[in-house]
Chains A and B, each alone.
Chain A
Amino acid sequence: MNISVPAKDIKIELKNVHKRFGKKIVLHDLSLTIPKGKSLVVIGGSGSGKSVMLKSILGIIRPEKGSIKVDGKDVTKLSTSEREKTLRKFGMLFQNAALFDSLPVWENVAFGLIQGRNMKRKDAKEIALEKLGQVGLTTEIGDLYPAELSGGMQKRVGLARAIATDPEIIFFDEPTTGLDPIMADVINDLIVNSVQKLGATALSITHDMASARKIADYIAMIYKGEIIWAGTRDEVDNSGNEYVDQFIHGRADGPIKMDVLKP
């Protein structure tokens, strides 16, 4: 089961990717196609390998087997300098934000502009404050340090940092987790906007089905390190796949068993 688009419209293509940590197999023969200029949402249970999949595409984690192509180039085979060049296309929101705690908020957001694009600090700060505004954070917050922010605020700073350089490809690892429903919707709009206005390719991970329905062009479901279903947003309700049905309706009973002790 995969998303079928003409080869020229493919931005990222994972084929038969395997990754294990010690004895634990995390990605098992994972294949996924991400179409250019579209928003793909990956859903799946906790611990199913979603974050590991993102990090594998970014080269932070090296899979043992399989190919990962970005614009036709296999990133698992690139040299360090070529990999750096490819990484310039990406923006990434980490699940735990991963902000630089030694830098003030605005410099976190401006980091890719100053270090990566050699922009003047003053100009970069202006853009950073504008991006902070887009995620609902005021100018005063720009001078605070990450440790002084709430969890949801850190997440939004991470989001502003991910989009600050207007990257071609943006990864969002659980963008709305920890946000209130209203702010979550603001962030949803921002993601939709990034894809539609800037033409970016977005890959988001979420457990939040409301958010998924809003931001997705395509949805894929990962289960035990494998993509078990993929299709357009509208197809997800009639997927005919029991795993997908159980997940999107959030039912405890179904083919997916949670290893929990019943009281």
Chain B
Amino acid sequence: MNPLAIIGNVVITALGETGRLSLFTWRAVTHILRPPLYWRLIGQQMMRIGYFSLPVVALTAFFTGGVLALQIYYGSDQFNSESIVATIVALGITRELGPVLGGLMVAGRAAAAIAAELGTMRVTEQIDALSTLSTNPFKYLVVPRVIAAVITLPALVFIGDVIGIFGGFVVGTQTLDFNAGVYIKTTVDFLELDDITSGLIKSAIFGFIIAMMGCYQGFHSRGGAQGVGRATTNAVVSSSILILAANYVMTSLFFSS
């Protein structure tokens, strides 16, 4: 096949996909703003997306904080490293690693689960059945998941921040023989509210990305089991990449000045 034709096809497919995704996102947002909301379903989704992701996020944060402390210690001149380790662990976790790793872990769990569930509902005509029962599929399926993810992700990441810093503290005081009081004092002195809030704003955006990609891929799955499998993979891959890209953009916006 003509290489130009291949490139052309790829570009057209990509543009079409971007257009469909934008339209889908726009519809979701307008439905969020238009009552009624299904509170019961939002609560249910908050449990599934947020609460059940807690162990994964907590473990990830703990080990990340710990390994960060080790590497900073080995990388620094090890003299006066106490304050450097404490500061960089706190900033690294709250600004970048907490939200990004938390987002990626939840993307693996929740985006996949959403895409698989909605994809199955699509191919078994359950989504069509919703509309014949006077229920808007967007309001009933997409909106609760998006709202739940946008609310619970910052909460998860905040808990992850605390646990991550604690992980650094444990490694610092147990393995590297730092003074616990000094470590805590340095952390508190250097950490500013902006560091935490910027990470939480990021994670709310990541929550939106995760729910949107899960719903989008699920809604547009075709065929049978294979189609649902493809939707699930696409949801995880695309939400992960979008999270990393959005993170870069937000970091350059928040920390440029």
Show the binding face of A for B, using Cβ within 8 Å.
Answer: 55, 58-60, 84, 87-88, 90-92, 94, 96, 98-102, 111-112, 115-117, 161, 165
Contact = CB atoms under 8 A, between A and B. Distances in A.
A117 B136 CA distance: 13
Interface in B101-137: 117, 120-121, 124-126, 128-129, 131-136
Contacts, number: 54
A101 B140 contact: no
Contacts of A98: 124-126, 128-129
A60 B134 contact: no
Contacts of A55: 128
A94 B117 CA distance: 20
Main secondary structure of the interface of B (DSSP, over half): helix
30 contacts: A58-B128, A58-B131, A58-B132, A60-B132, A84-B134, A87-B131, A87-B132, A87-B134, A92-B129, A92-B132, A94-B128, A96-B124, A96-B125, A98-B124, A98-B126, A98-B129, A99-B126, A100-B121, A100-B126, A101-B120, A111-B133, A111-B135, A112-B134, A112-B135, A115-B135, A115-B140, A116-B133, A117-B134, A165-B133, A165-B134
A84 B140 CA distance: 14
A27 B117 CA distance: 31
A101 B132 contact: no
A100 B128 contact: no
A24 B134 CA distance: 31
Interface residues of B, number: 15
Contacts of B125: 94, 96, 98
A125 to B, nearest CB: 15
Given A96-B124, A98-B124, A115 B129 contact: no
A78 B182 CA distance: 69
Nearest to A112: B133
Describe A's contact surface by its main secondary structure: loop
Given A99-B126, A165-B133, 8 more contacts: A58-B128, A58-B131, A58-B132, A84-B131, A87-B134, A92-B132, A111-B135, A112-B135
B126 A90 contact: no
Nearest to B124: A98
Q: Which 3 A-B pairs have the closest CB atoms?
A: A116-B134, A98-B125, A112-B133
Interface string B36-55: 00000000000000000000
A189 to B, nearest CB: 24
A116 B38 CA distance: 12
A160 B236 CA distance: 38
A100 B135 CA distance: 13
Interface string B63-100: 00000000000000000000000000000000000000
A246 B121 CA distance: 38
Given A84-B136, A115-B140, A94 B131 contact: no
Nearest to B136: A84
